[in-house]
Each structure stands twice: as C-alpha cells, then as structure tokens.
Amino acid sequence: MRASNNNLTILSEAEQAALYEIPDFDDVQRSNYLNLTPEEQVLMCSRDDLSAQIHCAIQIGYFKAKHRFFPFKWEEVQEDIDFIMEEYFPEQQFHPTPISKHQYYAQCTVITAHFGYQSWSKEFEPLLIAQAQQILRRDVSPQFIVIELLAFMQKKKILRPGYTTLQTIVSKVLNTERNRLESILGESLTIEDKSALQKLLLEKEDQTLSELADLKQDTKDFKARMISAEREKLLSIKALFQLAKSLLPKLNLSQQNIHYYASLVDYYDAYELRKKLKSEQTYLYLLCYLSQRYLKLNDNLIDAFSLSLKQFEADLKEKTKDAYTDYAVSKQIDSFVMRKFAWLFINQELPDQLSFGDVRKKAFETIIPEKELRNKIPDENEEELKPIDFQ
C-alpha cells in the first residue's frame, strides 16, 4: 500500500462519474429505466402534485440505473421530463415548482423501501470495515477493495455512501494492515538485515545507479556477457532472497498482495524509497520485490542455458554430420581401392609366374602409392564406427 493520505484515490474519475454523477441517458436507456412498472406508477402518483410526481418518476429511473438518489435542477433533466410527460401525462402542461427537502427525502425513503434497500447510515460502517479487512487479505489494492465493497453492499441491498466515506473506510483498513505489517517487520528484521536492504538503495561506488536500479534492468539478450551479468545479480541478492523467503510467510500475505507490493518498487525510485517512505514500508516492498526478482533472474538463466544447450546440440549435430559424411566418402574411396587390389588376384592377363614383388610394384604404380596405403592402415585399437541417427 502507498503512503497514507486523506486523498487516497480509490476510483478513477470515470468510475466516480459512473457511480456518483446524474445519469445521462440516451434514448434506449431512457426508455428502459423510465418505463415504470404498474407498482412504480402507483408510487409516482402517490406524490402530492405534478412536479413531485415527475420528480419521483425520474428518481425511480435514476435509482434503477445507479442505486442512488440525485438532487437536480429541472433544466438539467429536460429530456427525461419530456419522456415522463409524453408517457404518463400527455394531456397535461408541466409548470415546474421547486421540490422541498422534506419532499426529496420522503421520496428517497419510499423508493428505497419499494426496492427493498436500506439507506446508508454510520451503523453500517463497522460492517463495511470488517468486510474490507477480509477483502484486503486477497488483494490490498484500494481499487479492488472498493469494488468488492460496492458488490457487497449491492448484495446486502445497502445504499452506497458518498465517495469521501468510502475513502475513509478504505484508508482506515489500509492503515490497520500497514501497522500490522510494520509491527511484524520491526520485530523480525535485524540491524544487519535492514542495512543490507538499505544498501540496495545507495549508489554503487563510481556509478550513478543504485544497486536496485541496476537490479531492475532486464537483460536485452542471452549473450555471454549479459548472462554473466544476470548471474552476478542473482548471486548478489541470494542472501536477501533467503531472508524474504523466511520472513514473508510470517506476514501472511496472498500471492496477489506480494505481487502488488513488489510492483511498488517499480512505482517508486530509489530516492523515494530511501527518503519519502517509512522504513518498514520500504523493507516490505523490497522483500516482496526481491522474492519475485530472484525467481525471474533464475528463470532467465534457465532460459539462457536451455537456449545455449539447444544451439550447442545443433552445432554439434551439424559438425558430426559433416564429419560422418567425410568419413563415409573416405570409406567409399577405400572400397574402390580394395576392389582394384582384388582385381589383381583374378586378372587372367597376369601370369602365375609373376613374383609378388612385381605385383605389389604394379599396385603401387597403378592403384595407390605405398605411402598413402600405409596411412590408411587402421590402428589396432581403433573401434568400429557405429551408425548415427541424425534425426
């Protein structure tokens, strides 16, 4: 979680508008939400005069769309007024009169009761706080907590409070969780542990980058120099990874929350982590980050090794294939030479009285030189070549 403040952003501007601004119906939406059921028409007609009836009809439509009531000026909702008049009061002329606070709240009360909802009150705050504490065990991000709270209130048919009230509730549970984690970290981390974590945030000697900034940088390729650098990173944080591995289970964090806290190391730079946040917050973010970064670096090295091994196997296979081809050609030549030698023994043109020395001389002259033949004689210990599968 980020540093606590009274302006905690729990919804984007678009999300706030969707929940808290007056509906801006198009024709299809207007036909859908302002087409009242018979029961809703009875509720509308129970109001005192035409202005109150039209106001009630519009509030019913808005409630169905957003489960919330909206104070508005007549000129802001002219198209909705025109639809109501045409649909339910076609014979009447509308001369708007102001709606009193009493009329407004009376309408809110009867519409809320009609749809089986309960109006928001401070009595529901402990219920929402307890629910938010359960939600943040899964995901501590403020946006997730508030979205789940809205779904919870929808299920329980409780009208959602104002945006500021939601901010207060979410901030309160986040502060409680922050205090819990800070307490565990304060008791568990030694002076040496804290010093090792703080060292990550300091600029390395003769460099402008901190060790953390260097650690954040991803390898661009799997060349030997880059892989060596990845290995050095891995070794440099091994002890801190072991610390995180032993400590994080004590914090009882979900994997999603570990990932969320780790992501804040990318959100803040080293200076902000060192100077602008509480020390325990920084330690939490770093431990979560290191627990994931170490595994990522390890995966990078495994991928690099696998890639290098595949390349080595491919190169070796190609070289072996070439060598075997050369060997096979050599053996084919040897076979041709041996056939020539064999022909000397069955050649009828050579008389039997011819001495072996003359035959050998003829072989060296016409088939293969003596020196070359000697080079082809195998060593006594040479093993027979076995077949190789190149597939």
pLDDT tens readout for residues 296-317 = 888 888 888 787 788 878 888 8
Which residues are 142's β-sheet partners?
none
Last residue of a domain, one of 80, 97, 114: 114
Rounded Cα distance, 160 and 166, in Å: 8
Contact call for residues 268 and 285 (beta carbons, < 8 A): yes
Which residues are 203's β-sheet partners?
210
Last residue of a domain, one of 161, 185, 209: 185
**Full residue range of the structural domain in which residue 274 is found:** 192-312
Q: Which of 153, 188, 138 is nearest to 67 (CA)?
A: 153
pLDDT (average), residues 374-389: 66
- SS3 state of residue 203: strand
Does residue 149 fall inside a structural domain?
Answer: yes
| Six token digits for residue 364 | 């060296």
Does residue 317 fall inside a structural domain?
Answer: no
Q: Which of 231, 370, 224, 200 is nearest to 301 (CA)?
A: 231
- SS3 state of residue 158: strand
pLDDT for 380 equals 64
Could you report the per-residue pLDDT of 225-261, keeping only the tens digit for each? Answer: 777 878 888 899 999 999 999 999 999 999 999 999 9
Q: Quick one: 146 and 42 in the same domain?
A: no
Rounded Cα distance, 258 and 290, in Å: 10
pLDDT for 342 equals 76
| Six token digits for residue 290 | 């290191």
Q: Which of 246, 236, 251, 247 is nearest to 199 (CA)?
A: 236
More confident call, 281 vs 325: 281
pLDDT (average), residues 319-332: 80
Q: Quick one: 106 and 137 in the same domain?
A: no
Q: Quick one: 130 and 108 in the same domain?
A: no
Does residue 362 fall inside a structural domain?
Answer: no
Which residues are 98's β-sheet partners?
none
Could you report the per-residue pLDDT of 123-157, keeping only the tens digit for each? Answer: 999 999 999 999 999 999 999 999 999 999 999 99
Residue 65 CA, chain-centre distance (Å), reads 33
| Six token digits for residue 233 | 């990173």
Q: Quick one: 237 and 294 in the same domain?
A: yes
Q: Quick one: 308 and 269 in the same domain?
A: yes
Q: How many structural domains comprise the chain?
A: 3
Rounded Cα distance, 134 and 140, in Å: 10
Confidence of residue 82 (pLDDT cuts 50, 70, 90): very high
Last residue of a domain, one of 283, 312, 341: 312
Does residue 1 register a pLDDT over 50? no
pLDDT for 153 equals 97
Does residue 379 fall inside a structural domain?
Answer: no
State the DSSP string of 164-192: HHHHHHHHHHHHHHHHHHHHHHHHH--HH
Q: Quick one: 159 and 240 in the same domain?
A: no
Does residue 5 fall inside a structural domain?
Answer: no
Confidence of residue 362 (pLDDT cuts 50, 70, 90): confident
Beta strands in the chain (DSSP E): none
Q: Quick one: 151 and 110 in the same domain?
A: no
pLDDT for 5 equals 44
pLDDT for 292 equals 94
Q: Which of 101, 181, 96 is nearest to 137 (CA)?
A: 181
pLDDT for 379 equals 66
More confident call, 304 vs 200: 200
pLDDT for 178 equals 94
pLDDT for 208 equals 54
Q: Quick one: 52 and 76 in the same domain?
A: yes
Rounded Cα distance, 351 and 155, in Å: 114
The mean pLDDT of the chain is 88
Contact call for residues 58 and 71 (beta carbons, < 8 A): no
Rounded Cα distance, 81 and 47, in Å: 16
Q: Quick one: 173 and 196 in the same domain?
A: no
Does residue 8 fall inside a structural domain?
Answer: no
Does residue 22 fall inside a structural domain?
Answer: no
- Please name the amino acid found at residue 7: N
Does residue 2 register a pLDDT over 50? no
Does residue 211 fall inside a structural domain?
Answer: yes
Buried b (16+ CB within 10 A) or exposed e, 32-68: ebbebeeebbebbeebeebbbbbbbbbbbbbbbbbbb
Burial degree of 7 (CB within 10 A; 0-12, 13-18, 19+): exposed
Q: Quick one: 38 and 140 in the same domain?
A: no
Max avg pLDDT among 62-76, 190-204, 350-364: 62-76
Does residue 165 register a pLDDT over 60? yes
Q: Quick one: 230 and 135 in the same domain?
A: no
Confidence of residue 45 (pLDDT cuts 50, 70, 90): very high
Q: Which of 342, 387, 344, 349 is nearest to 362 (CA)?
A: 344
The residue behind tokens 């804040």 is 264
pLDDT for 335 equals 78
More confident call, 312 vs 99: 99
In the chain, helix, strand, coil percent, each to 5?
Answer: 70, 0, 30
Q: How large a percentage of the chain has pLDDT more than 90? A: 60
Q: Quick one: 222 and 148 in the same domain?
A: no
Rounded Cα distance, 93 and 86, in Å: 10
Q: Which of 44, 70, 47, 46 is nearest to 57 (CA)?
A: 44
State the DSSP string of 33-62: HSS--HHHHHHHHTSSSHHHHHHHHHHHHH
